[in-house]
Amino acid sequence: MSTIVDDVNRPRTFPASDAYELLVQGVVDYAVYMLDPEGRIVSWNPGAERIKGYTADEIIGEHFSRFYTEEDRAAGVPERALRIAATTGRFATEAWRCRKDGSHFWAMVVIDPIRRDGALIGFAKITRDMTEQREARLAAQESERQFSLLVQSVTDYAIYMLDLNGRVTSWNAGAERIKGYAAAEIIGEHFSRFYTPEDAEAGVPAKALETARREGRYEAEAWRRRKDGTLFWASVVVDAIYDKGVLVGFAKITRDLSERREAQLKLDQSRELLFQSQKMEAVGQLTGGLAHDFNNLLTGISGSLDLLKLRLSQGRGSEVDRYVTMAQDAAGRAAALTHRLLAFARRQTLDAKRVSANTLIAEMTELLRRTVGPEIAVETAFADDPKPILCDPNQLENAILNLCINARDAMPDGGRLRIETVNIQVSGQDARDGAMEPGAYVSIRVSDTGSGMPDDVIQHAFEPFFTTKPIGQGTGLGLSMIYGFARQSGGNVRISSVVGAGTTVSIDLPQDRGAAEGDTPAVPRSPEMPRARAGETVLIVDDEPTVRMLVADVLEGLGYAAIEAADGVSGLKVLQSDVHIDLLITDVGLPGGVNGRQMADAARLHRPDLRVLFITGYAEGAGIGEGALGRGMHLLTKPFSMQSLANQIKAIIARR
């Protein structure tokens, strides 16, 4: 039962649900109590005692207005609360209330009228102490206010909000300064108006929101538009905003980087000018070295020919072999010099094959021991799980031999030379520093215990004609050739050295992850040029008349029928005719718009089994030498001896 007091001296009772009474009495977080129609307290639960400080004996019969502040009582707030509850069916508010000890707390208040048979018999009143929640809310509001003030005070960044559809919902002073729109002009408009027409047409704004929605953030640098139509270079960030796990919009921050970009462009231009200056200096150094070496070689060739002509005119034919040998030797050294220059420039023709570095080095070991001499101990250490690499084996042999010769020269009093192979993985910053593709590589390392190299020498070690050796003892092209070969093969070269303790040069070449393929069978070598069989015909296509003449003379001397063409178009006409052709010999770089590779590919549409021998010393852009040779296609690098040409021709024609 609950008791209602008409006045302090005359209480009366009315029935109530026992379960309800037990529920009310068990609540401690809410003050739940009853009022009579005049506002006097007729019941009191433990929550009311905890929150307001009064026991039931102290407060039952008292008017509920004592919980209100003096200001609210003077203003008639308690009476108005009951009147509103009785009239509208409920009174709810949040306001300050008083405890027994005079302290105040922030209360959430609900007053409901209680009626029986339509007659008002009292009120049910619920009060909750919301002081902590209010303080937290006020703190959040203050933080939000301060953040809003901070955002509004920022002028270097455009900071604004977008709704889910991309329409602007807020706008700070920085946005107005950078983009030119006042808040009243832009709020409610779609943010795509800041994009260039090209970006808007390409759907970039929608992609930005979709990326932010999917990944939480979108970042970019691009051109953006101001109100006046001018463009500025912007750094853009779009962040997704979630409320209780639900996406409610986007925060967008834009910064004008036009000045910084301009400064960066000027810096890049300055660097480019410096690079060009350094490049011209290197070209000057390269040209000077070339002129010196080629003048010496040309002197040997031309002088030998002059003396050869003179001795023949004098009838001294027995002496001509000496001058022929001298001219051939000078021509061979000129070819080697050209080869090294092409390697440095990464323009040499590489005959890439599947190579086992372990096998190649093992087969070279005896040669290397003889080359470096008995004072130097040669050691090898091979990877336990050897992985094949894709490169030109001849170039790799030359590179290793060059490194061993350099190591020998760094150890004049003897020492230890170690050649090893290691399987490595290149990724992250190492790949970026070496301009390499991330992946698996085989590192071929040549280490010595010699004099070592200081840092300033290492920095220039790969430059053409740079050498620390005395004049006449080195061209300065060895390391530059190795560097060019490695870079053209998709790898890199690294030098690690300590002065007085030795040097390690590592050639990192990519592992061949393709299907295993056998190497091209070796070309048989014979001191006698092989003869042709009857009816064998070779088509020669080269724009250099001297080359065509020499090759044709050799072929005809060996019994081959030779057909000549000066360009790709003429050669293709022959190949598309009914003329029998056993072999096509062609340069790669040809005039007339059709190069050698294109001609060969077109010819194979009609002659699928056509054998092809490319003769070239420069194959950039032609798809030659990087593992791109098709079945039945072979390669011979200029300059070549007539003996090598004949052997190659015979081997190719015989391989049917």
The model's pLDDT over 356-380, given as tens digits with 9 standing for 90+, comes to: 888 888 888 887 888 888 889 999 9
| Residue carrying the six token digits 């977080």 | 29
DSSP class of residue 186 equals H
Helices (H), 159-257: 173-179, 183-186, 197-201, 204-215
pLDDT at residue 20, as a whole number: 54
Residue with more model confidence, 242 or 342: 242
- When mean pLDDT is compared across 167-176, 306-315, 624-633, the lowest value belongs to 624-633
Strand segments, DSSP code E, in 198-333 are 217-225, 231-243, 246-256
∠ Cα 461 449 436 (to 5°): 40
Which phi and psi (to 5°) does residue 296 adopt? Answer: -60, -45
Inform me whether the pLDDT recorded for 605 exceeds 70.
yes
On the 0-12 / 13-18 / 19+ scale of CB atoms within 10 A, 623 is middle
H/E segment holding residue 58: helix 56-59
Q: Quick check: 36 and 122 in contact, CB under 8 A?
A: yes
DSSP class of residue 426 equals E
Closest CA to 539 of 588, 575, 567: 575
Q: Which residues pair with 128 in a beta bridge?
A: 108
d(CA 191, CA 4): 64
DSSP class of residue 601 equals H
Rounded to 10 degrees, what is the CA torsion of 582, 585, 590, 595?
Answer: 60
DSSP class of residue 10 equals -
Report the interhelical angle of 393-410 vs 478-488 (nearest 10°).
150
Closest CA to 69 of 102, 25, 112: 102
Q: Quick check: 596 and 613 in contact, CB under 8 A?
A: no
Reported as a pLDDT band with limits 50, 70 and 90, residue 596 is confident
The model's pLDDT over 398-427, given as tens digits with 9 standing for 90+, comes to: 888 888 888 898 898 899 999 999 988 888
Sheet holding 157-162, edge to edge: 157-162, 246-256, 231-243, 217-225
| Residue carrying the six token digits 């091979």 | 382
pLDDT at residue 275, as a whole number: 57
The model's pLDDT over 461-498, given as tens digits with 9 standing for 90+, comes to: 766 555 655 544 444 456 777 777 788 778 888 888 88
d(CA 108, CA 218): 43
Q: Provide the token pair at 37.
A: 């129609």
The model's pLDDT over 91-112, given as tens digits with 9 standing for 90+, comes to: 999 999 999 999 999 999 999 9
- Return the sign of the alpha-carbon dihedral for residues 323, 326, 330, 332: positive
The winner for highest mean pLDDT among 343-347, 433-437, 471-475, 552-556 is 552-556
Beta strands 561-565; 104-116: pairing state? unpaired
The model's pTM is 0.36
d(CA 531, CA 136): 102
Inform me whether the pLDDT recorded for 428 exceeds 80.
no
d(CA 470, CA 494): 24
Q: Quick check: 596 and 572 in contact, CB under 8 A?
A: no
Q: Provide the token pair at 595.
A: 């190069």
